[in-house]
Structure 1
Amino acid sequence: MTVRCEVNGDGSSLVAALSGGLRLADGSAIREHLLKCLAEQPDALLIDLSAMTVDQPLALSIFKVVLRQAARWPGTPILFCAPCPRTRRLLSTAANHRLPLYPSVEAALTHLHDQRRTVPSISEELLPVAGSTRHARDIATEVCVRWELSDLIAPASLIVTELVANVVDHARTMMTLRLSLRERYLNIAVRDGSPQPPAPALGMPLEAASGRGLLLVNELAYSWGYLPSTTGKVVWAALRRV
């Protein structure tokens, strides 16, 4: 890998500083680094490009891939900061025209401060025991009532039940349940300490699962998936608000 990635916190935001010459071969590693940043569910992800050059312009497409994931979940704004003049020109071409560019990290933070809106969310640490599924359902019900999403009580309860049960049955680690209210979606996420994909792995026939839980998630959620995190993975689902 010719590009290095160093991640630092800036309050509730994360700053991923990329350095080196970007090549197509770096795409997979950069994607993994940035998806792990998204799995932390920061208020914003700032990508500092001040020390990065572009050896192969086609490699910039990896940033669009990460933007698409962020739009699906967790809805985290991604801002690209301080590109050198050549990199800015490449990022401003028709193929990349939707990438939000800022002249510096400070300018991006100022924009976030001016535009910041609090995202209602609730998090709960759960043990890998059978009783956690009931507790998770109670939390989902309480949150939907509090946020006036009565039509989502049933699907949210079913989804959290399956996601938590998957950790209890397979990962067997401590987990964090988080529900967040976005403009268009209710986002549900369960973070655990196992890097293994949810069972069955995404892309496998859901009918092959021992049970119908993930099939229900697939049917109920507007979209769902999983991301690697620094300590395991996050399995997420989004329910569209009416």
Structure 2
Amino acid sequence: MPIDCAVSGDGDRLLAAVSGDLDLGAVADLRIRLLKCLAEQPRALLVDLSRMTVSEPLALSVFTAVRRQAARWPGIPLLLCAPEPMTGSHLRNARHRSLPVFPTVEAADRHVGVDRDTLAMLNDELLPVLGAARQARNLATEACLRWDLPDLLAPASLVASELVSNVVDHAHTMMTMRLTLRPRYLQIAVRDGSTAEPVRRPSPETVARRGRGLMLIEATAHAWGWLPTHNGKVVWASLPVA
């Protein structure tokens, strides 16, 4: 049975119910589906394995890779739930022992519910026009002032401006910018409606007109990257909170 992944949830936490047989040939598709869940920036991602079998145990490494991305951005837990006995046995192998596994979805949900402090967050919808970068800088400034992050005023404004300008220059779609304050990082993410990868090295014309785009973000941020969404992508960057 081919692998499938049905996603449900309320935005606070997403549940990805995986069904079918997991082998190495299914890894790429499952990885993309789970990364799209992360792009929604939930508080937690629960993965229900009760209807999944494993014909090639090495394929379980897909969950390790996605968990690593979840920790990097958006900084959320990924929890595996209700594996079949044989799958559970594979997950107890030393290679996968770091993965958090819970006997039921309810048990995983209770674990997530232990720490659900309200996150500080600001969102804005932006048009792909020249004034969008200024609007992004204003929102970044508002976030830093509201959350008492004076040292991040300049870098956050730069990162926000460059992320939004990249959409204006290349994606040409409506976008949503979100700033989230987590315990260690200020996260800035911009979601657009283009599936094309972000352009890391701009053309000479773009450099002359505006700057070096994602290369500046790479030099300024602690980390940055991008993930596919169901109808585009989200490009993110994180700045350390002193």
SS, match of residue 121 in structure 1:
strand
**Correspondence 1:125 to 2:107:** no
Question: Match of 2:90?
Answer: 90
TM-score normalised over the length of structure 2: 0.94
Asked if the contact 2:16/2:48 (under 8 Å) is kept, the reply is yes
Q: 1:189 to 1:101 in 2, by over 3 A?
A: same
* Contact residue 125 and residue 175 of structure 1 kept, 8 A: yes
What is the one-letter code of the residue matched to 2:116? R
CA displacement, residues 50-96 of structure 1 (integer Å, 9 cap, x when unaligned): 00011000000111110111111101211100001111121122111
Match of 2:62 in 1: 62
Cα deviation, residue 173, structure 1: 0.7
Aligned match of 1:20: 20
Contact kept in structure 2, 1:4 and 1:18, CA below 8 Å:
yes
Q: CA RMSD in A?
A: 1.4
* Residues 168-187 of structure 1: pairs in structure 2 closer than 5 A: 168-187=168-187
Conserved? CA contact 2:228–2:234, under 8 Å: yes
* Number of positions where the alignment pairs a residue of Structure 1 with one of Structure 2: 237
TM-score (norm 1): 0.94
Identify the residue that residue 221 of structure 1 maps to in structure 2.
221
Shift of 1:2: 2.2
- The percent identity for this pair of structures is 56
CA contact (8 A) 2:186 2:239 kept: yes
Question: Is the contact made by 2:11 and 2:42 (CA closer than 8 Å) also made in structure 1?
Answer: no
AA partner of residue 8 (structure 1): S
Quick check: 111-120 or 134-143, which moved more? 111-120
Q: CA separation in 1, counterparts of 2:10 and 2:188?
A: 24
Which residue does 1:192 correspond to in 2? 192
Letter in 2 for 1:163: L
Counterpart for residue 203 of structure 1: none
Distance 2:109 2:202 in 1: 46
Cα distance per residue 1:193-228 (max 9 Å; x no partner) = 00011113xxxxx47664212111010011101100
Residue identity in the other structure for 2:98: R
**Preserved CA contact (<8 Å) 1:2 1:23:** no
**Structure 1 unaligned runs (5+)?**
201-205
Q: Is there any run of 5+ residues in structure 2 with no aligned partner, and where?
A: none
